Chains A and B, each alone.
Chain A
Amino acid sequence: MDSTENETKVNGKDQEKVKSELLTINMGPQHPATHGVLRVEIKTDSEIVSEAIPHIGYLHRCFEKHCENIDYRGNLPFCDRMDYLAAMNMELGYCLAVEKMIGTEVPRRAEYIRVMVSELQRVASHLLFFGTYAIDLGAFTPFLYAFQERETILRLFEELSGARLLYNYVWIGGVWNDIKDEQLLRIKKFCDKMDGELEKYWTLVGHNKIFVERTANVGIMDTEMCYNYGATGPILRGSGVEWDLRKKRPYSIYEELDFEIPVGEGEKGTVGDCWDRFSVRMQEMKESLKIIRQCLDGIEEGPIMGKVSKVLKLPKGEIYMRTECPRGELGYHIVSDGGKVPYRVKAKSSCFTHTSMLPEVAPGQLIADFVATIGSVDIVLGEVDR
């Protein structure tokens, strides 16, 4: 047992040495601030964390073993249940990997719809991050504002695909249903409204003195640590590295679109603290709206599904395909032996690597700061445990 001995002076006289030990408590599987079933075993010395050990596996649903028994099209509903808050991006990565192996060409209209839907999903996911991060730190109002904006997006997805959260919409070779013109008009109206809302969120939460005091200079992850652990996405960008897969290794039609990559600069504190990660995600929402507007202008007429055979068999080989999801990089490693069923599917999830960084960031923080750090990493347990 670790113990420290303190000498205390009471009324000017030396008292006996008071022995204090580290207290082990569970930030247990059921906790409102851990965004899922994450259990962190914290050893604290009064209010300061000295060691944090995460235990995961409470949501393990054997995705990889399941995929070895079901054919390629049937695996799509399981893919979007991994990160259930950004389901379109999960399906897009899988479809891109399979299409690269069989070499189909996806029609242009389907590519535009896919990019538009992925970026709308990114806006929805970051809105949810904004709402839940504010509520973790005690601000109850922005949660409902964010969810009201999210309603427009989810309603549109329900008309397109039939479901609000787990879509099965992006198929191998294209998309399932076509998008109508009046839905495109609604997306345009949403983009215009969202610009005004983002200003409101900055005033309400982002520049608020209490929020800044709680998140600036807290949970600093510098560049060397990010590279060593393999962190990607808003965490790497919040630490000052300009790395976005949509610009560095473009897939789909991202090469033809014009957008910027926001990077954390340490405006309110140091580079790589929680405020930087928050600000990177808010600026990413603005860039996504820019991309959606360009897609609305450039969408072409045509078919929405390419030529894919009814019984899908991939040639022998393997592929590793990376795409940029709202929480980081998602990679699919598919090994095929020529049959109807994949031989091995491995999903590299970003939240798994980000959760492994928590033991190094934690020591020395107050428990309240630790809650702010977990919230800024934006973990979704479905992706951690698969």
Chain B
Amino acid sequence: MHKEIADFLNQKVSGAEAKALEAEVGQSSVVVKAEHILKVCEALKDSDEHQFNVLQVISGVDFPEGIGEQKEGVIEVNYMIASFIKNTELILKIRVPRGDDENLPKVDSVCGVWKAADWQERECYDLVGIDFIGHPDLRRILNVYDWKGHPLRKDYVVQETYQGMTVYPPDKRNDPEMAFVGEQNRLNDEAKAAAKKAKAEAKGESS
């Protein structure tokens, strides 16, 4: 099914470069170029043979070390769309360069195609940090409206203060000297045993 959808998209939308990623384990998906996502979604919704009329979720995944052949950091945005009329579902992927907190990656918003994209894109902006162009009201949804940073990125460090309050005060943390003392003990024991063994071997060699 993914190959047919990729061929259909390459026919309908020029420049989309749709590719089907078949996977042996898990689920296959279709990758499209990020600039043409709006036309691709319109084509999939309006076509008679596919009729993808429901957008379920938009999920953003952060790969700071790149995927596959690409070695620069990418963010992969997955659009899970489904057809409740034909009973099919599809994962549509785009990959955008990562950027940082000042220049967020830009993607076209699909709010005009499915109204479900409204809140889903707000959540993606809030947690992963992608700027959707053309969204009617892009602001944070799950965090506070003036929070800094995008939590689900892999290099996220929580801010120190928020409006004068300390965010993670030391007296509310787990006691650091109690934490995992057992693990440290076992590592010490293993290091001592390894050192003893090395000494015994050295002695055995010299004698």
A→B interface (CB under 8 Å):
56-57, 60, 62, 64-65, 100-101, 103, 227-230, 241, 243, 248-249, 315-320, 322, 329, 331, 333, 335, 343-344, 346, 348, 352-353, 355-356, 360, 385-386
Contacts and interface: CB of A to CB of B under 8 A. Distances in A.
A333 B78 contact: yes
A172 B152 CA distance: 26
B127 A227 contact: no
List of 6 A-B pairs having minimum Cβ-Cβ separation, nearest first: A317-B26, A230-B116, A348-B57, A346-B59, A356-B119, A319-B26
B26 A318 contact: yes
Contact of A353 (B78, B80, B119): B119
Nearest to B91: A320
B143 A333 contact: no
Nearest to B117: A230
B23 interface: yes
Contacts of A60: 142-143
Interface of B: 23, 25-27, 29, 53-57, 59, 61-62, 78, 80, 84, 87, 89, 91, 114-116, 118-119, 123, 127, 140-144, 151-152
Contacts of A348: 56-57, 59, 80
Contacts of A56: 141-142
A230 B54 contact: yes
Contacts of B119: 352-353, 355-356
A335 B61 contact: yes
Contact of B54 (A65, A227, A317, A346): A227
B59 A228 contact: no
Contact of B84 (A227, A331, A353): A227
Contacts of B57: 331, 333, 346, 348
Nearest to A345: B59
Contacts of A322: 56, 89
A319 B116 CA distance: 21
A65 B84 contact: no
Nearest to B137: A53
A319 B25 CA distance: 9
B80 to A, nearest CB: 6
A335 B127 CA distance: 17
Contacts of B84: 227, 241, 243
24 contacts: A57-B141, A57-B143, A60-B142, A64-B152, A65-B151, A65-B152, A101-B26, A230-B56, A230-B116, A241-B84, A243-B84, A316-B25, A317-B23, A318-B23, A318-B26, A319-B26, A333-B57, A344-B59, A346-B59, A352-B123, A353-B116, A353-B119, A356-B116, A386-B142
Contacts of B118: 356
B74 to A, nearest CB: 13
Contact of B87 (A248, A331, A352): A248
Contact of B142 (A57, A100, A343): A57
Nearest to A319: B26
Nearest to B84: A243
A100 to B, nearest CB: 8
Contacts of A335: 61
Nearest to B127: A64
A344 B80 CA distance: 15
B57 to A, nearest CB: 4
A353 B151 CA distance: 22
Contacts of B62: 344
Contacts of A229: 114-116
Contacts of B80: 320, 331, 333, 348
A364 B136 CA distance: 22
A243 B84 CA distance: 8
Chain A CB count within 10 A is highest, among B87, B115, B152, for B115
Contacts of A386: 142
Contacts of A62: 151
Chain B CB count within 10 A is highest, among A322, A343, A353, for A353
B44 to A, nearest CB: 14
A241 to B, nearest CB: 7
A356 B55 CA distance: 13
A318 B26 CA distance: 5
Contact of A343 (B59, B61, B127, B151): B61
A228 B91 contact: no
Nearest to B87: A248
A317 B91 contact: no
B142 A319 contact: no
A229 B59 CA distance: 16
A354 to B, nearest CB: 10
